[in-house]
Amino acid sequence: MPVEAKVDIGARSATPPLTERQEARRRRILHASAQLASRGGFDAVQMREVAESSQVALGTLYRYFPSKVHLLVATMQDQLEHMHGTLRKKPPAGETASERVAETLMRAFRALQREPHLADAMVRALTFADRSVSPEVDQVSRQTTAIILDAMGLTDPTPAQLSAVRVIEHTWHSALITWLSGRASIAQVKIDIETVCRLIDLTEPEKKP
């Protein structure tokens, strides 16, 4: 009789299902990754250290995550799920869609400010990722889109609204980068977010029927 029963992963795509111990390994790795990242950011996440912290051989680490960037992007997926859950509990209270989106993003931004090193590791990995990580990065993007659409209160957005959301995501990522590298202040990021969110208002014609 097999010692480990199979376990099903929810969101992940056509990955062969993992056994319990494998799932546990995967969690240990992601936990170690986030922990090291929280200390010293991107550079502090050293593959040998991640392997050691998570009690896994280096080769195994690379079997689970084929590169450091893959690992950090997966870490981001993980954190984003948390975040989305948290945000769902307390929906933003703004009047307009653009206010609610800005409020949501600022809330996320404040969460990132609490762990700036972790934010650094995740965001740098995300923007540095090359084609080999596209599927994973895309997943992060879809998750982010979902969060924004949630804040807008939309279920089926128009193409124009999707464009606006895409631009908002661009701004979000890039503004984070400039903040993380010390080239923009927190206040500046706030302004940029509020500025870009006004785009949303352009996609809903004024109420003048």
Partner DNA sequence: CGCTAATCTAGAACAAGTTTCAGACTTGAT
Partner DNA sequence: ATCAAGTCTGAAACTTGTTCTAGATTAGCG
Angle at alpha carbon of residue 161, lines to 155 and 162, rounded to 5°: 80
* 2 makes contact with DNA (CB under 7 A): yes
Q: Which of 34, 68, 79, 192 touches DNA (CB under 7 A)?
A: 68
Tokens of 123: 């965001």
> Smallest Cα–Cα separation from 113: which of 70, 176, 199, 193?
176
CB 101, min distance to a second copy, A: 14
Task: Please tell me the number of Cα atoms within 13 Å of 184 on its side-chain side.
Answer: 18
Q: In this structure, how many other beta carbons lie within 10 angstroms of the beta carbon of residue 14?
A: 4
* 88 makes contact with DNA (CB under 7 A): no
Size of the site for DNA (CB under 7 A): 29
* Residue 55 interacts with which of a second copy, DNA, none, CB < 5 to 8 Å by class: DNA
Per-residue x/- marks for DNA, 22-61, CB under 7 A? x--x-----------------x-xxxx------xxxxxx-
Query: Which residue number, 111 or 177, has a Cβ lying nearer to a second copy?
Result: 177
Cβ density class 27-51: b for 16+ within 10 Å, e for less: eebbebbbbbbbeebbeebeeeebb
Query: Which residue number, 168 or 180, has a Cβ lying nearer to DNA?
Result: 180
* 124 makes contact with DNA (CB under 7 A): no
* Residue 4 interacts with which of DNA, a second copy, none, CB < 5 to 8 Å by class: DNA
Q: Which of 12, 27, 40, 66 touches DNA (CB under 7 A)?
A: 66
Cα separation, 125 vs 91, in Å, equals: 29
Cα separation, 57 vs 119, in Å, equals: 26
Query: Which residue number, 90 or 131, has a Cβ lying nearer to a second copy?
Result: 131
* Residue 198 interacts with which of DNA, a second copy, none, CB < 5 to 8 Å by class: a second copy
